[in-house]
C-alpha cells in the first residue's frame, strides 16, 4: 500500500518529457523555464540510467514553491491542448496529455518520498499547505471544460475504430476518469464538487498524521526483567531501537505491526501483551487531539455527498464501476462466501488454544492479546513447528537474493549492485541495484530498497515507482522501489524475520517486478485496476516456499546449513494453520470498509457503527479487525483503497487459481512456458488490457474460487 498522489488519481502518471507546448502543426516542442530549472525538485533528472532523482539534494524549503510552479506549468500545458484550434484527434489531445506534466511528475516523486519515508514535523507543516493546493489543482484539471470536450470528442468519434486496442483503452480511461470526477457537472454542483475535494484532502491528511503521531508517540521501554519469552534476535533489535531513541540500556517495543506482532507472539508477560495490544489497536481512538472518529464521520458524509452529485446511490457504487468486481454486491458476495468458514475456523482455533492454557494451569480465558501467543504454542504442539526456529533460517539479505533468483528464472532479470555513491539515495540505509536483461544485457531499470524502520517512516510495507516504462518517447528506464519496516539489528548481525514478513517481502517485490516488466507505450496505462494489481504481488509470495528457494537461500544464520527437510515438511503441513485468525481479521476490515461506504452516513458514529456491525456479523471476540476504523489509513488517509480493501481477497482468488496452474505445469513453479505466458499476459501489459481478458488469455478461463478455499483449508462451495 502506498499514498496515492494527485497525478495518480488523475491518471496523469509517469511522463518525463520537458515542459511542452502544442504548436499549430500538432508537434510538441520542449520549452524551458528558469524557475523550474532553479528548483532541484522540478529540474530534469540527470546522471546515469536515463537520469535519476537527486535524492541527495532534496530541500524541503523548495517543496511548496516548487509544487506551485509545477502545477502552474502543467495547467498551462493542458490549457494549450484545450485551446488547440485543430479538431480533436487522438494524437493532438490524448497523446499530448500523455506528454504533458513532466515537471509536476518529478516533484511528486520527492513529495511522496517525504510523506512516506521521511516525514517530520517540518514536512507535515509544509504538507498542510501543499495538500489543499494539490486538491485545487486536481479540480482545475477535471473541471477544464474545453479539455474534457476534446477528450469526449475523441472518445465518441468514429476514429476510435481505427485505433489499436491499447489506444482505445487509453482514450476510454481518460474519458471515464474525467466523467467520474465531475467534469460533466455545471454551475453550483461543479463548485460544490471542487469544495468537497478540498475538504477531503485536508481530512485525509489529518487522519494520516494522527495515526503517525500515535505510532511515534507510544513506545514501550522495557527493562531486562520484562523480556520473558522473547527470542534473542528480538531482544537485540529492541535494544537497538531503544538506543536509537536515546534510551540506551532499555528495550523498545514500538507501536507498529512489525514490533507489536512478534511481541504478542513470544512475550510470556500477559499484562505487557495486553498493554502492547491495546496501545496498537487504539491508534487514532484515544479521545485526544489525535482521535480520528470525527474525521471518519466527516469523510464519509463528504464522500457520500460528492457521489450523489454524480447520480450514485452510495460511494461504493461509484468507486467500483472501474474495478473487476464492478458492483459492491459482487464484492460483498465474494466476502460473504468466505466469512462463515473463516469465523467457524476461529472457534476451532480458540478451542485449541484454550485447551493449551488450561493444561498449563494458566487460569485464563483467551483474549485478543493471547491469540498470537497461544497460537504459537498450538503450532508447536500440533505441528511441532516453532516459529522462532523457522526465523533462524530467514535472513533478510538471503531472502533478497532469493527474490533475485526468482526474478531471473521467471522474468529474465539480473540484479547487480550499483556502486555506492554513483546513484543518489535519500537515507544511508537505502541500497540500489541495476536491473538488466539476462540474455541481452540491456538495461531495464533500477531497484531501490529501503528496508528498515525509523522515526518519520510510516509503518507497513509498500512499493513505489519513481519512473515507469513508456516507449512513447523511448523512456524505458524504470525506477522502482520497495520499502519495509524491518527492525535493524546491531552492525554485522543478520536481520532475522518471520515467515509472514518474508512473504510480505516477496509480495512487495512482486509490485516492483510488475513495474519493471512493463512494455506499455502510454504512461496512463502503467496504472492498474485496484482489485487486480494486488494479484501480481500476491502471486509472487508463492515462490517463497518453493524447493529452490528453500534449498539455496533459507539457510541457518549461524551454521549456514539449509532448512532441514523435516522443518520444511512441518511448514507445509501447517500451511493452513491459523487461517481462521488471518482471514477473519482481514475480512472484518474489508467488510467494514464496504459497509461504511454503502450506508447513509448522516449522523454516523464510526465507533458505535463498527461495534454494531461486527456484532451482527458474528465477529469472534478473540479477534479484532486488522485495521480498526480510526487507524484504517488504507481507506481514510486517501481514497486509493476506499471500498477497495476487499481487492486483496479478489486478487487472492486469481492468485490461488494461477498458483494451481503452476503447480500442475511440467516444470512446476519454474516452468518456462507458463512463466512466459505469465509475463506476456499478466505483467507486461499493465493496464493496457482489461484485467478479465488478460487473465483469460493466461489461464484459458476465468478464475474460480475453489483454489482460494483449498489454500485456506476451507470447504469449497458447491
pLDDT digits 0-9 by tens, 2-60: 334 444 434 433 222 223 222 233 333 334 455 566 899 999 999 999 999 999 999 99
In the prediction, which pLDDT does 22 show?
Answer: 29
Task: Judge whether 710 and 716 are in contact, CB under 8 Å.
Answer: yes
Helix (H) or strand (E) holding 396: helix 396-411
How many whole angstroms from its chain centre is CA 480?
Answer: 13
Tell me how far apart the alpha carbons of residues 16 and 470 are, in angstroms, rounded to a whole number: 10
Tell me how far apart the alpha carbons of residues 637 and 459 are, in angstroms, rounded to a whole number: 13
pLDDT digits 0-9 by tens, 670-696: 999 999 999 999 999 999 999 999 999
In the prediction, which pLDDT does 37 show?
Answer: 63
Which is it for strands 251-253 and 478-486: parallel, antiparallel or unpaired? Answer: unpaired
- pLDDT over 80 at 617, yes or no: yes
In the block, residue with C-alpha cell 458474528: 618
pLDDT digits 0-9 by tens, 223-256: 999 999 999 989 999 999 999 999 999 999 999 9
Tell me how far apart the alpha carbons of residues 181 and 369 are, in angstroms, rounded to a whole number: 43
In the prediction, which pLDDT does 13 show?
Answer: 35
Measure Cα distances from 50 to 37, 45, 465, 472 in Å: 18, 8, 15, 15
Per-domain residue ranges for the chain? 6-184, 218-281
Average the pLDDT over 632-661 and give the result.
Answer: 95
Q: State the alpha helices, DSSP H only, in 597-705.
A: 606-617, 633-636, 647-664, 672-678, 691-699
Average the pLDDT over 586-602 and give the result.
Answer: 98
Task: Judge whether 483 and 116 are in contact, CB under 8 Å.
Answer: yes
First to last CA, the chain: 34
Strand partners, 449: 431, 482
**Ramachandran angles phi, psi of 554, nearest 5°:** -90, 80
In the block, residue with C-alpha cell 512513447: 472
490 pLDDT tier (thresholds 50, 70, 90): confident
pLDDT digits 0-9 by tens, 533-553: 899 999 999 999 999 999 999
Q: What is this structure's pTM? A: 0.85
Q: By three-state DSSP, how is residue 30 classified?
A: strand
In the prediction, which pLDDT does 36 show?
Answer: 61
Report which DSSP code applies to 668: G
CA proximity to 495, closest of 449, 445, 442: 449
Average the pLDDT over 510-530 and give the result.
Answer: 93
Domain range 6-184, CATH architecture:
Orthogonal Bundle (1.10)
Tell me how far apart the alpha carbons of residues 413 and 434 are, in angstroms, rounded to a whole number: 10
Q: Cell for 606?
A: 464510526
180 pLDDT tier (thresholds 50, 70, 90): confident
Q: What is the phi-psi region of residue 157: left when phi exceeds 0, alpha when psi lies from -120 to 50, beta otherwise? A: beta
Report which DSSP code applies to 465: E
CA proximity to 10, closest of 174, 197, 203, 232: 174
CA proximity to 373, closest of 388, 383, 363, 391: 388
Task: Judge whether 100 and 21 are in contact, CB under 8 Å.
Answer: no
Average the pLDDT over 589-598 and give the result.
Answer: 98
Average the pLDDT over 88-116 and give the result.
Answer: 97
Residue-wise burial string across 590-608, b where 16 or more C-beta atoms lie within 10 A, e elsewhere: bbbbbbbbbbebeebebbe
Instruction: Tell me whether residue 230 is exposed, middle or buried, using C-beta atoms within 10 angstroms of its C-beta: 0 to 12, 13 to 18, 19 or more.
Output: buried
pLDDT digits 0-9 by tens, 410-463: 999 999 999 999 999 999 999 999 999 999 999 999 999 999 999 899 888 999
- pLDDT over 50 at 619, yes or no: yes
- pLDDT over 60 at 561, yes or no: yes
Tell me how far apart the alpha carbons of residues 599 and 612 are, in angstroms, rounded to a whole number: 13
In the prediction, which pLDDT does 34 show?
Answer: 56
**Ramachandran angles phi, psi of 199, nearest 5°:** -65, -45
Task: Judge whether 686 and 525 are in contact, CB under 8 Å.
Answer: yes
Helix (H) or strand (E) holding 478: strand 478-486
% of the chain exceeding 90 in pLDDT: 87
Q: By three-state DSSP, how is residue 254 classified?
A: coil
358 pLDDT tier (thresholds 50, 70, 90): very high
Average the pLDDT over 465-483 and give the result.
Answer: 91
Q: Cell for 643?
A: 471500498
Of how many residues is the chain composed? Answer: 718
Which is it for strands 220-222 and 251-253: parallel, antiparallel or unpaired? Answer: antiparallel
- pLDDT over 70 at 138, yes or no: yes
Tell me how far apart the alpha carbons of residues 413 and 260 are, in angstroms, rounded to a whole number: 36
175 pLDDT tier (thresholds 50, 70, 90): very high
Task: Judge whether 610 and 592 are in contact, CB under 8 Å.
Answer: yes
DSSP letter string over 316-359? HHHHGGGSSS-SHHHHHHHHHHHHHHHHHHHHHHHHHHHHHHHH
- pLDDT over 90 at 349, yes or no: yes
In the prediction, which pLDDT does 424 show?
Answer: 97
Q: What is the pLDDT of the chain when averaged over all its residues?
A: 92
- Half-sphere exposure (CA, 13 Å, Cβ side) for 524? 24
- pLDDT over 60 at 103, yes or no: yes
Amino acid at each position: 500500500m502506498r499514498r496515492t498522489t494527485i497525478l495518480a488519481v488523475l491518471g496523469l502518471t509517469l511522463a518525463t518529457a520537458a515542459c511542452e507546448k502544442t504548436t499549430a502543426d500538432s508537434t510538441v516542442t520542449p520549452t524551458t523555464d528558469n524557475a523550474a530549472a532553479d528548483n532541484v525538485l522540478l529540474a530534469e533528472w540527470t546522471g546515469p540510467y536515463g537520469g535519476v532523482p537527486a535524492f541527495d539534494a532534496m530541500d524541503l524549503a523548495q517543496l511548496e514553491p516548487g509544487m506551485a510552479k509545477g502545477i502552474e506549468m502543467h495547467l498551462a500545458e493542458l490549457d494549450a491542448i484545450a485551446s488547440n484550434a485543430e479538431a480533436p484527434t487522438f494524437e493532438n489531445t490524448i497523446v499530448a496529455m500523455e506528454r504533458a506534466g513532466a515537471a509536476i511528475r518529478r516533484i511528486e516523486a520527492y513529495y511522496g518520498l517525504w510523506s512516506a519515508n521521511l516525514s517530520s514535523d517540518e514536512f507535515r507543516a509544509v504538507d498542510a499547505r501543499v495538500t489543499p493546493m494539490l486538491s485545487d489543482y486536481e479540480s482545475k484539471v477535471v473541471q477544464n471544460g474545453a479539455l474534457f470536450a476534446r477528450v469526449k470528442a475523441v472518445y465518441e468519434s468514429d476514429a476510435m475504430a481505427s485505433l489499436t486496442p491499447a489506444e482505445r483503452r487509453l482514450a476510454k480511461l481518460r474519458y471515464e476518469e474525467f466523467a467520474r470526477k465531475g467534469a460533466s457537472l455545471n454551475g453550483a454542483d461543479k463548485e460544490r464538487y471542487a469544495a468537497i475535494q478540498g475538504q477531503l484532502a485536508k481530512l485525509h491528511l489529518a487522519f494520516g498524521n494522527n495515526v503517525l503521531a500515535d505510532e511515534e508517540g507510544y513506545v514501550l521501554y522495557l527493562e531486562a526483567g520484562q523480556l520473558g519469552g522473547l527470542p534473542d534476535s528480538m531482544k537485540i533489535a529492541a535494544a537497538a531501537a531503544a538506543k536509537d531513541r536515546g534510551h540506551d540500556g532499555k528495550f523498545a517495543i514500538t507501536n507498529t505491526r512489525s514490533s507489536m506482532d512478534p511481541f504478542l507472539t513470544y512475550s510470556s508477560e500477559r499484562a505487557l501483551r495486553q498493554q502492547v495490544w491495546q496501545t496498537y489497536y487504539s491508534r487514532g481512538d484515544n479521545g485526544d487531539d489525535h482521535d480520528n472518529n470525527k474525521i471518519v464521520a466527516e469523510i464519509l458524509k463528504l464522500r457520500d455527498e460528492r457521489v450523489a452529485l454524480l447520480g450514485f446511490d452510495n460511494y461504493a457504487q461509484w468507486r467500483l464501476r472501474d474495478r473487476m468486481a464492478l458492483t459492491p454486491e459482487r464484492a460483498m458476495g465474494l466476502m460473504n462466501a468466505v466469512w462463515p468458514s473463516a469465523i467457524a475456523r476461529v472457534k476451532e482455533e480458540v478451542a485449541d488454544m484454550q485447551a493449551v492454557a488450561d493444561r498449563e494451569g494458566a487460569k485464563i480465558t483467551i483474549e485478543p492479546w493471547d491469540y498470537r501467543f497461544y497460537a504459537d504454542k498450538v503450532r508447536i504442539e500440533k505441528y511441532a513447528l516453532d516459529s522462532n526456529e523457522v526465523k533462524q533460517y530467514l535472513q533478510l539479505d538471503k531472502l533478497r537474493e532469493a527474490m533475485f533468483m526468482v526474478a531471473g528464472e521467471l522474468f529474465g532479470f539480473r540484479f547487480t549492485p550499483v556502486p555506492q555513491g554513483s546513484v543518489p539515495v535519500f537515507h544511508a540505509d537505502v541500497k540500489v541495484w541495476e536491473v538488466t536483461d539476462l540474455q541481452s544485457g540491456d538495461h531495464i531499470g533500477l531497484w531501490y530498497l529501503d528496508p528498515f524502520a525509523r522515526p518519520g517512516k510510516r509503518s507497513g510495507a509498500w512499493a513505489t515507482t519513481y519512473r515507469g516504462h513508456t516507449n512513447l518517447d523511448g523512456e524505458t528506464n524504470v525506477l522502482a522501489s520497495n520499502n519495509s519496516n524491518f527492525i535493524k539489528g546491531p552492525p554485522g548481525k543478520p536481520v532475522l524475520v518471520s515467515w509472514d514478513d518474508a512473504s510480505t517481502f516477496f509480495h512487495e517485490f512482486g509490485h516492483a517486478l510488475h513495474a519493471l516488466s512493463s512494455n506499455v507505450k502510454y504512461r496512463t496505462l502503467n496504472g492498474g485496476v485496484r482489485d487486480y494489481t494486488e494479484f501480481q504481488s500476491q502471486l509472487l509470495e508463492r515462490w517463497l516456499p518453493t524447493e529452490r528457494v528453500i534449498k539455496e537461500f533459507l539457510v541457518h544464520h549461524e551454521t549456514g546449513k539449509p532448512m532441514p527437510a523435516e522443518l520444511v515438511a512441518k511448514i507445509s503441513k501447517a500451511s493452513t494453520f491459523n487461517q481462521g485468525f488471518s482471514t477473519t481479521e482481514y475480512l472484518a476490515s474489508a467488510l467494514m470498509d464496504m459497509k461504511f461506504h454503502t450506508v447513509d452516513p448522516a449522523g454516523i458514529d464510526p465507533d458505535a457503527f463498527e461495534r454494531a456491525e461486527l456484532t451482527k456479523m458474528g465477529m469472534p471476540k478473540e479477534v479484532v479487525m486488522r485495521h480498526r476504523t480510526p487507524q484504517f489509513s488504507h481507506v481514510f488517509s486517501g481514497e486509493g483503497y476506499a471500498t477497495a480493501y476487499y481487492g486483496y481477497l479478489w486478487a487472492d482468488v486469481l492468485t490461488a487459481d494461477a498458483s494451481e496452474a503452476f503447480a500442475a505445469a511440467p516444470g512446476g513453479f519454474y516452468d518456462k512456458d507458463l512463466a512466459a505466458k505469465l509475463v506476456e499476459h499478466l505483467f507486461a501489459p499493465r493496464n493496457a488490457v482489461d484485467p478479465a481478458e488478460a487473465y483469460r488469455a493466461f489461464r484459458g478461463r476465468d478464475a474460480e474460487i475453489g483454489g482460494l478455499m483449498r489454500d485456506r483449508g476451507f470447504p469449497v462451495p458447491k
